[in-house]
A and B are shown apart, each in its own frame.
Chain A
Amino acid sequence: MGDFLQSLVNTIDPYLMQILVNVGIAVILALGLNVIVGLTGQLSLGHAAFMSIGAFTSAMITIKSGMPFSLNLIATGVVTAVVAAIIGFPILRLTGDYLAICTLGFAEIVKVFFLNFEPTNKALGLTVPSAKTVIPMPIYVWGTAILAIILVTFVQSSRFGRALKAIREDEIAAEAMGINTTRYKIQAFALGSFMAGVGGGLYAHFLSYINPSDFGFLKSVDILSMIVLGGLGSVPGAVIGSSVLASAPEFLRFMSQYRMLVYGALLVFLMVFRPNGLLGGVNFTELLLKAIGKSKSPAPAASKKK
């Protein structure tokens, strides 16, 4: 089974494969942040911190024990989610920009903590042994990414997801309707961080080397740009946004010297011309139904959406 999958992976160009894996990890991270920012409306600038907690936890589990990789990832996710819930309990009382700056501060603290943490080699970074699984990493990553897409799609339309959307639209009104806003916010935070932890674990084992400095403020910003670019609160948006931004540095490699310059300028121009994201306000279900000729809404209404 493992050999067959490995030979399947080997048929794809390794460079392309690497981009694909990066995209897959980005999809998991972006979907996690999408639950916090897009669904619940709580601006977090510290998603990379949870990714780093996941990466280091997962790496340590692999080093210290022989736990199978799937169990390892679940344990990592749970640890990250518990940390997020503990952090979230006090800071989610804050709103808006105060919450954003608090998550940012927390992320910096986590980074400095790992930079000084003896068991993970401090600033030298940690070399991660290969994952204990027969399934090749690219398939693992994309399998997890697809699971994440399914999970978030279900969460969105569940009772839980509707409560989160209510909090996003108007927290006070949601509270008045009997929604326990604190509990739901912490749960959303924990769920998003669970996915960040799993993404971090995959990242650690795919790269086989992690350094605390890789999970700085710019990483959090990267993930945030992905979901804003795709359109907040939309699963296809998060997937497309993360695919575009995770592969953009590779496609811009031909102008390697200028690529960050172009990237920065692109972010500004995208926001100025499409402030709601590339796909913000586009209803994918409707587009899909229209494409197969089963549109429920009459054509004029659909075109007005543009």
Chain B
Amino acid sequence: MFLQQLVNGIALGSVYALIALGYTMVYGIITLINFAHGEIFMVGAFIGLLLVSYFKVNIFVAIIGAMIFCMIMGVLIELIAYRALRKSSRLSALISAIGVSIFLSSLALMVFGADAKGFPDTAFPVHQISIGDADISTLQMLIIGVAAVLMIALEFIVQKTKIGKAMRATSEDYNTSALMGINVNRVISFTFALGSALAAAGGVLVGVLFNAVSFNMGLMAGLKAFAAAVLGGIGSIPGAMLGGLLLGVSEVFGVAIGYSSYRDAIAFSILVLVLLVKPTGLLGQKITKKV
């Protein structure tokens, strides 16, 4: 029982972590809460669904297709809705992000209709594998596996490549990096592309897991993933992973104990409690504000 719920929780949590990474990277660089991120996740799920149902492609190809589509979308969103606002107040950029979010979810409502759509059964063959008293489905293994591969790839990009170095420098100090000859606009576009691709992968995985893709799935998933990012310490990449897993596991355990109608409150209660004890999140760095 315990092991079973733990696996369920890790599967859900790794999806939260994938979405949370996008929030945390964007926040780390331009201190913007990208409220449209949840909708990118939703669009990713729809693109994956389209690819699987109409083009009959393999689930992995669908994930990659959705990632590429959302990468382009993320870069375009940044270009249209955020770039002009980089120098103005953060609240204006926030409202702009909320506008993008409303726009995308109502666009999806118009295009795909209000009812939830499911993936065809042939999308991914589900088998149960028993380990001890826990039944682990191949689907859960797929989710955890894909999430792990993507996070390792991200860690590699951020730590080992030149553009990753530029990203870290920009998030450390925007103006100084610009002075050092880093093309900050390109770095920001790249960050949006990376974050959106991860969210799209998360979207397809959630769509297959719950077998439901709907126009309003982005809002709650986005809010929870953002809570995960803040829980882990916003701006910190390992923090987002930790926060996502923590939220996923505690949510699943909360439901298992019998608080299923409080499902959405669990994540936020943990968040509020952690922030009260440690206002910078679990792995966040303390920033001393100078006058």
Chain A interface residues (CB < 8 Å from chain B): 37, 43, 90-91, 93-94, 97-98, 100-102, 104-106, 108-109, 111-113, 115-116, 170, 172-173, 176, 217-218, 221, 224-225, 228-229, 232, 257-258, 260-261, 263-268, 271-272, 275-277
Contacts and interface: CB of A to CB of B under 8 A. Distances in A.
Interface stretch (B61-69, B95-103, B122-130, B141-149): B95-103
A263 B81 CA distance: 14
Given A108-B223, A257-B110, A271-B96, A102 B102 contact: no
B180 interface: no
A224 B103 CA distance: 17
Contact of A272 (B84, B223, B234): B84
21 contacts: A37-B91, A91-B272, A91-B276, A93-B279, A94-B279, A101-B33, A101-B271, A105-B271, A105-B272, A108-B268, A172-B289, A172-B291, A176-B291, A224-B98, A225-B95, A232-B89, A260-B106, A264-B99, A264-B100, A264-B106, A272-B81
B103 A265 contact: yes
Interface of B: 27, 31, 33, 80-81, 84-85, 88-89, 91-93, 95-96, 98-107, 109-110, 219, 223, 226-227, 230, 234, 261-262, 264-265, 267-269, 271-272, 275-276, 279-280, 289, 291
B92 A276 contact: yes
Q: Is the interface of B mostly helix, strand, loop or mixed?
A: helix
Identify the 3 closest CB pairs spanning chains A and B, nearest first: A267-B99, A264-B103, A264-B102
A162 B108 CA distance: 46
A109 B262 CA distance: 8
Contacts of B280: 98
A255 to B, nearest CB: 12
A173 B291 CA distance: 7
A113 B265 contact: yes
A109 B106 contact: no
A264 B101 contact: yes
B99 A265 contact: yes
A161 to B, nearest CB: 20
A109 B88 contact: no
A221 B99 CA distance: 10
Contact of B275 (A98, A109, A176): A98
A102 B102 CA distance: 22
Nearest to A271: B96
Best-buried of B107, B267, B268, B271 by chain A (most CB within 10 Å): B268
Contacts of B234: 97-98
B82 to A, nearest CB: 9
Contacts of B91: 37, 43, 228, 232
